[in-house]
Structure 1
Amino acid sequence: MGRTVAGLRATGRGVLVTGASRGIGRAVAAAFARQGDRVAVHCSTRRADAEETLAALEGEGHVLLAADLADPERVLALATEAEEALGGVDVLVNNAAVMVAHPPADTSYQDWQDAWRRTVDVNLLGAAHLSHCVARRMIDGGREGRIVNIGSRGAFRGEPDHPAYGATKAALHALGQSLAVALAPHGIAVASVAPGFVATERVAGRLDGPEGADIRAQSPFGRVADPAEIAAAVLYLASPAAVWSSGTVLDVNGASYLRT
């Protein structure tokens, strides 16, 4: 399937991208397809958008798969379906996430619990369970592989209106580092990207509204990221050249937040 003794080739791989209906996930799926990989486009509820993503992909061998990542059994089925459809998953991109507003001063206790439960189930447990399922198949098949997590600047900067989102993204970064150590003996590299504000459909209203100028001013470049810029970072971390970057959390935020 396009592998070499030295490791994975840059093209001809099976790639599973979660949350690929639109935004960052769509850009990531397109970038892998453009370089010759076969892509499984995952969606949860936005099937029509996912079908648009699938139809626009270059090359052949792509597939659309639907699953609620909050359901562990569906996660297991998703890993199996992707393995069969692609002839093996060489790269997993954990991109799917939910972002439910629940500012503590204005949220009821019941709504607070619901927001945390849904966010943890998808953003953290869904990614953790899918990583386990995919990694075990890589190991059992004797295949090297890559797992790339889409984290967030909010893991470091804070998300006051979406605290569960910030917390789960921080946990996702930590999960990636733990898996990087655990899976390295099996030739599986794991890394994360931490984007800042990205121009996606989900935030178009904010960028076009009164706060748009302030959001762009967060970066000294005076703009927000294009989804393709996040996809470029994912491509690098999933490439054979990036094996020694396993365990890293790569900031992709246009110098809008600098960690020390």
Structure 2
Amino acid sequence: MNATFDFSGRSILVTGASSGIGRATVEALCASGASVVAAARNVNELARLAEETGCEPMMLDVSNESAIDDALSSLDAFDGLVNCAGIALLERGVDTTGASFDRVMGVNTRGAVLVAKHVARGMIDAKRAGSIVNVSSQAALVALDDHLSYSASKAALDAVTRALCIELGPYGIRVNSVNPTVTLTPMAVQAWSDPVKRDPALKAIPLHRFAESAEVAAPIMFLLSDAASMISGVCLPIDGGYTAR
């Protein structure tokens, strides 16, 4: 799936860029003329992505506040941000530990907030309108087994989206979330390979399939673009109808 938008002359930061949805988003943005800073922890994958797309790689651990400050405080203003960095530690609620809960929240919510803070400040200071897209999950909208920490982190991220929409709207900055179903990243393909786990999940999706990374990147491109110029504060399910049940 190719999303055709013209991002020539626009600078966009993508976190979690080394694989999956983040990587597909970087590929689509670069193909559409954007100047992309691709941030992630995997240096080797970032180097490969930079060679393939021409993006600017940035080593960044979004769970580390000082690393975010060091990496982003001196950069020029961006026109857009895609907060895609995320982790999932799946465990039953009765088995959840404080450490695992804090780790998931630290990346999925806290990290996104701290990155958005820097990008939004840069936009405001430069008097530059723009768009922020947070990659959330269907797990923010419905209950899923063994997803307590992950669901809490993504529901909090949707709340962050709404709060930033209100705060940043007067500066011409739009903020939205996308909420995908299981997306077939390399890690997800392995995680959902067991038919006992996979088949009931597929049955619950009206389209009867999981998403491809490009199918999530395309709506992200739309929300970053001028075609979505009056859309802000939205949490958009990309789930084949799963949350319609």
TM over 0.5: yes
Q: State how far apart, in whole Å, the 2-side matches of 1:100 and 1:117 are.
A: 11
CA deviation map 1:88-142 (0-9, x unaligned):
311110010111122133x2xxx61111111111111111111111100111111
1:198-217 counterparts in 2 under 5 A? 198-210=183-195, 211-217=197-203
Q: Is the contact made by 1:22 and 1:53 (CA closer than 8 Å) also made in structure 2?
A: no
TM-score by length of 2: 0.92
Letter in 2 for 1:123: N
Q: State how far apart, in whole Å, the 2-side matches of 1:243 and 1:171 are.
A: 24
| 3-state SS of 2:149 partner | helix
Q: Equivalent residue for 1:4? A: none
Name the % identity: 32
Q: State how far apart, in whole Å, the 2-side matches of 1:116 and 1:130 are.
A: 20
Count of residue pairs the alignment pairs up: 239
TM-score by length of 1: 0.87
Q: State how far apart, in whole Å, the 2-side matches of 1:159 and 1:77 are.
A: 37
Task: Indicate which of 40, 51, 55 corresponds to 2:51.
Answer: 55
Q: Is the contact made by 1:10 and 1:240 (CA closer than 8 Å) also made in structure 2?
A: no
RMSD of equivalent CA atoms: 1.6
Q: Is the contact made by 1:207 and 1:213 (CA closer than 8 Å) also made in structure 2?
A: no
Letter in 2 for 1:166: S
Q: Equivalent residue for 1:122? A: 107
Letter in 2 for 1:257: T
Give unmatched runs, 5+ long, in structure 1.
Answer: 1-8
**Alpha-carbon shift at residue 145 of structure 1 (Å):** 1.1
1:1-12 counterparts in 2 under 5 A? 10-12=7-9
CA deviation map 1:210-233 (0-9, x unaligned):
233333222222211111010000
Give unmatched runs, 5+ long, in structure 2.
Answer: 1-5
Q: State how far apart, in whole Å, the 2-side matches of 1:52 and 1:241 are.
A: 31
Task: Please identify runs of 4+ aligned residues in structure 1 that moved more than 6 A.
Answer: none
Letter in 2 for 1:215: A
Q: Equivalent residue for 2:3? A: none
Letter in 2 for 1:238: L
